[in-house]
């Protein structure tokens, strides 16, 4: 299982949990597993078309998955996934 690190802005959707163990062969599977465990995260991570929300960056071992294979990026059991929603302010 991979470790998914949950940023503070998403923690209300995970009951305050900072890290979640999630299974899957690729990033998409792992994020869907997270969504199955914590349904409120689904709409924050995925767009209506099932693609990664454009305002969310996902990193696999410090590499942006968008420059890898996106949701199809392979995941191993010791990998760490970090979700970083974009923040805006004025």
Domain range list for the chain: 2-85
Element (H, E) at 32: helix 27-37
Which of left, alpha, beta for 18 (phi over 0: left; psi -120 to 50: alpha)? alpha
Rounded to an integer, what distance in angstroms lies between the CA atom of residue 12 and that of residue 34?
Answer: 14
Amino acid 90: pLDDT: 59
The pTM for the full model equals: 0.90
Rounded to an integer, what distance in angstroms lies between the CA atom of residue 90 and that of residue 72?
Answer: 35
3-state SS class at 26: strand
Q: Give pLDDT tens digits for 35-62.
A: 999 999 999 999 989 899 999 999 999 9
76 — phi, psi (to 5°)? Answer: -105, 170
Which of 3.40.50.10440, 3.30.450.40, 3.40.50.10860, 3.10.20.30 is the CATH number of 2-85?
Answer: 3.10.20.30
């Amino acid at each position: 299982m991979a470790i998914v690190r949950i940023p503070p802005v998403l923690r209300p959707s995970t009951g305050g949990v900072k890290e979640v163990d999630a299974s899957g062969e690729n990033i998409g599977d792992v994020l869907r597993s997270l969504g199955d465990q914590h349904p409120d995260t689904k709409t924050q991570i995925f767009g209506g078309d099932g693609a990664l929300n454009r305002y969310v960056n996902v990193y696999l071992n410090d590499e942006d998955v968008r420059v890898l294979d996106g949701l199809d990026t392979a995941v191993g059991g010791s990998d760490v996934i970090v979700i970083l929603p974009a923040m805006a302010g004025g």
